Homo-oligomer: A and B are copies of this chain.
Amino acid sequence: MNASPLARPFPAMPAIAGVGLRVARARYKAWDRCDLTFVTLAEGTSVAGVLTNSRCPSPEVEWCRQALVLGQARALVVNAGNSNAFTGHRGRAAVEAIAARTASAIGCVPSDVFVASTGVIGVPLPIDKAEAGLDAAFAAEPCGWEDAAATIMTTDTFAKGAVTTAVVDGRTVTLAGIIKGSGMIAPDMATMLGFIFTDAAVDPAFLQRAMTGANAQSFSCITVDGDTSTSDTVLAFATGAAGNAPLVDDDSDGADAFRAALADLCHQLAVLVVRDGEGATKLIEVQVTGADSDRSAHRIAMSIANSPLVKTAVAGEDANWGRVVMAVGKAGEPAERDRLSIRFGNTLVARDGLAVEGYDEAPVTAHLKGQEVEIGVDLGIGEGEATVWTCDLTHGYISINADYRS
């Protein structure tokens, strides 16, 4: 599989004190690549996370939901090639076996071990392969971020990571994240699998609030195909190795800076997922303003971003604003046809419910030929606004998904 035309090179990412990365071959599929990622976390590491709202979640998601309540983490295990979703008690048994074996190897309790899996649905994760893979990982040399990011991939076409820093309590802390996902992407409070690591000392409750806030503006604002995975998981781990006075609430020194850095990192990671959307050739940013409320703006933006007709029009480099009107109209949110304005890039093509007569088509055409397309919609009825990101819908998406066998 060639890399997405929207791929980005993997960034230089420093080690995070307190975080150890290792990968191994569990051979969950008939492939010769690493597919098990094992991350050790220093004692005292805080954890927070957002998980899929699917009513049919994987046992991994249920496990993480329970373990997150305790707020502490010592290890993370990620399996690629088998999502273990919809596998009943045998799937649950596999998660428990992984947590137990890992806890025993590093000397912690099983609830300190977080587990995530991605891949085919409906096949119980083979415990023997998981255990052999874990044993190999325990014995492996540490690796870098790019190897870990590559090991969690499935249909992804490039390894995805991002890094940022913040000054907290007079110290520079680093936040690093890796993420995977390219189909079944319409996160409902979370996305496929994303993992964020920081050396900052952060109280779990504060970390959770910051993560929930960052998620609302990042992973919850992307869609590839409107399909929400059963396994969506984003976890944030804070080792505390930076030695700052722990962030506990909004008054803590550096709370705002940390929150902003986390939001920035989540945004970077979320957009990378869209850049690897199945079959994507264009990254689309949909900006909705003037809506009845932010929530209403978000729903309208997602209605546009999930519309197959809008997405195929962008693929065809066609400034088909009529399809944008259609998507606004079907969202079921307050809208007044005769106050609606639409732009592609910086060019207004419709205003007050009418085509802008004689607008200059040249900049619109040039904008649509680029890899990054911006669609702006102003409802003209309020102050609500939202931005979401998606990709175009192409023959590539059909080829990938009509040919992919379960």
Contact = CB atoms under 8 A, between A and B. Distances in A.
Interface of A: 52-57, 83, 85-88, 90, 120-123, 183-184, 186, 188, 225-230, 306-309, 312-313, 315-316, 318-323, 325-338, 340, 350, 352-355, 393-395, 397-399, 401-406
Given A318-B405, A406-B320, A309 B86 contact: no
A1 B345 CA distance: 33
B227 A322 contact: no
A353 B88 contact: yes
Contacts of A402: 312-313, 315-316, 318, 393-394
A188 to B, nearest CB: 7
B308 A54 contact: no
Contacts of A186: 330
B329 A56 contact: yes
Nearest to A229: B326
Nearest to A406: B320
Contact of A309 (B90, B323, B333, B401): B401
Contact of A403 (B229, B316, B403, B406): B316
B337 A86 contact: yes
Nearest to A336: B55
B123 A355 contact: yes
Contacts of A395: 395, 398-399
Nearest to A338: B88
Given A88-B352, A320-B406, 4 more contacts: A55-B332, A228-B326, A312-B402, A393-B402
A228 B404 CA distance: 29
B312 A354 contact: no
A391 B336 CA distance: 32
A404 B318 contact: yes
Among A306, A307, A326: residue with most chain B CB under 10 A: A326
Given A86-B350, A308-B227, A315 B398 contact: yes
Contact of A393 (B55, B331, B340, B398): B398
Contacts of A337: 55-57, 86
A116 to B, nearest CB: 16
A328 B56 contact: yes
A393 B312 CA distance: 13
Nearest to A402: B316
A398 B398 CA distance: 8
B230 A329 contact: yes
A18 to B, nearest CB: 35
Given A86-B322, A330-B188, A309 B55 contact: no
Contacts of A354: 86-88, 90
Contacts of A53: 332
A55 B330 CA distance: 7
Contact of A394 (B328, B332, B398, B406): B398
Contact of A335 (B56, B88, B398): B56
B406 A319 contact: yes
Closest 9 CB pairs of A and B: A121-B322, A56-B329, A54-B329, A316-B402, A312-B401, A228-B330, A320-B406, A55-B335, A315-B402
Given A308-B225, A394-B398, A397-B312, A329 B404 contact: no
B394 A325 contact: no
Contact of A230 (B56, B315, B326, B331): B326
